[in-house]
Amino acid sequence: MSILDSIKEKINEANSILILTHENPDGDAIGSSLGFMHGLRKLDKNVDVFIPVKNRMYNFLPGFDEIKEELSEDAEYDLCISLDSSDLERLGTFGRPWFEKIKNTVVIDHHITNQNFGDVNYVNAVASSTCQNIIVVLAALDVAINKDMATCIYSGMLTDTGGFRYNVQPETFEFVAMLLETGIDIAKIYRNLFDLTTEKRTRLLGRALIRLELLEEGRIAFTYTTAEDDDELGIEDGDHEGIVNCGRNIEGVEVSIFLREKDGGYKASLRSNEYVDVSRIAAKYAGGGHLRASGFELKMSFEQAKDLIISEIKSQLKD
């Protein structure tokens, strides 16, 4: 039986389905979860999406208000589906126990680092996004994609490809053409995802920009934010997204590093432009991601974290 047939069988046999995604969910995580939720409901399934900390930035997506931030302990599901998460750990402290508890599991993802931790695993790492894989799965389930599903799915494809720049295949645009047929408002989606911001996010970015350092003849950009910044500005999860790109956009920079103080340690975001494989560095420190965008956590002091990442990157810089 093909993987898609196995997924179809799992879904056909289930009445209640729980969808989980990774911590610090991004556009692809939330878009695929909501897009798939709408799709599975067309098959008359009871579907919950559980995201313990949902990023307000995506509140324009249809179904956002239905996301559950808490689940009652005695809730029961026939099937658990993990979307856009490369491993169990990445489902987070609250999501992971549900995946482990529910008897039947399916994993749908596009991370090359995926550990195939479900009963059935559909991992197409060539695809632009998990959302793109969701389109294929919905087709296998004979679910026609409507405007609500398309809005969610398009949002994930748009964000995970950095505005259709990275990991784009010819079929990515064929899928997009199909989504546009449903009448989605791409100008509105674009503004919500790329332009709209808040005062506190802008002020946080300002602090990060003031601290920006250029190292190794301008080939490494480094900056950070502290827990104090988050307190003073009332920063929420997700508000740090995008800061790392400012360093990456500077002429001559190959790798941009952004450190964010979190839970007594540091969360690192790395972005490269042309040749440094940042997924390799992330994998070494129990993180993950892609060739040009990765992340991981370091439980150490600021100076130690900074020195360690810079020396890892230096060893990959060309002379």
Residues at the interface with ligand 5GP (CB under 6 A): 22, 24, 86, 90, 269, 287-290, 293-297
Nearest to 221 by CA among 237, 208, 239: 208
Work out whether 28 is an interface residue with Mn ion (CB under 5 A).
yes
Please state the φ and ψ torsions of residue 96, each to the nearest 5 degrees: -50, -45
CA distance 65 to 238: 17
Work out whether 23 is an interface residue with Mn ion (CB under 5 A).
no
Asked if 197 and 239 touch (Cβ cutoff 8 Å), the reply is no
User: Which one of ligand 5GP, Mn ion, none interacts with residue 28, CB within 5 to 8 A by kind?
Assistant: Mn ion
User: Which one of ligand 5GP, Mn ion, none interacts with residue 287, CB within 5 to 8 A by kind?
Assistant: ligand 5GP
Work out whether 148 is an interface residue with Mn ion (CB under 5 A).
no
Q: Smaller CB distance to Mn ion: residue 23 or 84? A: 84
Q: Smaller CB distance to ligand 5GP: residue 29 or 49? A: 29
Work out whether 84 is an interface residue with Mn ion (CB under 5 A).
yes
User: Which one of Mn ion, ligand 5GP, none interacts with residue 216, CB within 5 to 8 A by kind?
Assistant: none
User: Which one of ligand 5GP, Mn ion, none interacts with residue 90, CB within 5 to 8 A by kind?
Assistant: ligand 5GP
Q: Smaller CB distance to ligand 5GP: residue 38 or 290? A: 290
Q: Smaller CB distance to Mn ion: residue 32 or 225? A: 32
Q: How far is the CB of 272 from Mn ion (least distance, A)?
A: 17
Nearest to 166 by CA among 108, 245, 260: 245
Positions touching Mn ion (CB under 5 A) are 28, 84, 130, 160
